[in-house]
Each structure stands twice: as C-alpha cells, then as structure tokens.
Amino acid sequence: MQTTLVLLKPDTVQRGLIGAIISRFENKGLKISWMKLVQLPKSIVEEHYDFLADKPFFPGILAYMTGSPVVAMAITGKDSIKTVRMLTGATNPTEALPGSIRWDFALSIDANIIHASDSEETAAKELKRFFSEWEIYSYEKISDKVVA
C-alpha cells in the first residue's frame, strides 16, 4: 500500500470541480485517507515549488497557488503514486491523454487543476509538508479488502 499527496488547485475549487475530481479517485478504488480545504501561505508554496524558483513563471505560480484555497488530500491504495499520476495525466493538459483529469478539465499548463506526488520519496516529503502529525491517522474501509 502506498499513500500519495494530491492538491486540487485553486481553479478546481473556483470552478466547482472538487467532487468531479475526487470521484475519479474513489471510482478507481483508491481511499481518501486525509483531506482538508486550506489557503496556502506563500512560504509553503515557495517550499513546494522550490525547484522552479528560477523559472520566469514562478511568480505566477505563487500568486495562483496562494490566491484562493486548495484541497489537500492523502490518497492510499495499491501503487497509488503511479495510479494517481496516470489518472492525473501529463503536466501540460494538451499532452495529457483523453480521459485523464487534466485532459478532461484543464486548459493551460499554469492552471492545470491538480498536483500529484511523482515518487515515494517526494510523496513522503510532500505529505509531511501539508499534514501535521495530529492530522495523520488510519482507518479501515469496508472496500479495502475488495480492492487491495
């Protein structure tokens, strides 16, 4: 079992797409382990995207990600990191496969609806970044045994 971090970005919240996107993960059989709606401080966004700090579009990312709330989620399941990335699709929506979340809902690379961790190492770091120790717990879902 793996747990990965997903952020539903401000455009998802503003466009009323939270439910539509969460249902993609639930329909696949993945478990929402933890979830919250949160307005991100600039410091967290700077840390999260520090590898993009020298890019010309970095100020735009900062403004976008801090401008209105995001939904932060931990998603658990068998190979959830890869599965969530496949459901999410390529970073640039024009390169994402039809049927993926970004193809179906996003129109631009800068407002691309969703972020998902890309490896086990990144997921561990990102889950820690967005969830405090007191927010972390585990629970059984009746379907766990069916889909695991």
- Cβ closest to ligand CMP, residue 82 vs residue 141: 82
What CA–CA distance (Å, rounded) separates 128 from 116?
14
Size (the chain), residues:
148
Nearest residue to ligand CMP, by Cβ distance, number only: 115
- Cβ closest to ligand CMP, residue 23 vs residue 91: 91
CB 16 → ligand CMP: shortest distance, Å?
Answer: 20
Active site members: 115
- Cβ closest to ligand CMP, residue 61 vs residue 74: 61
CB 77 → ligand CMP: shortest distance, Å?
Answer: 20
CB 57 → ligand CMP: shortest distance, Å?
Answer: 4
CB 91 → ligand CMP: shortest distance, Å?
Answer: 5
Q: What residues line the site for ligand CMP (CB under 6 A)?
A: 52, 57, 61, 91, 109-110, 112, 115
- Cβ closest to ligand CMP, residue 22 vs residue 84: 84
Q: For residue 131, which of 117, 118, 113 has the smallest C-alpha distance?
A: 117
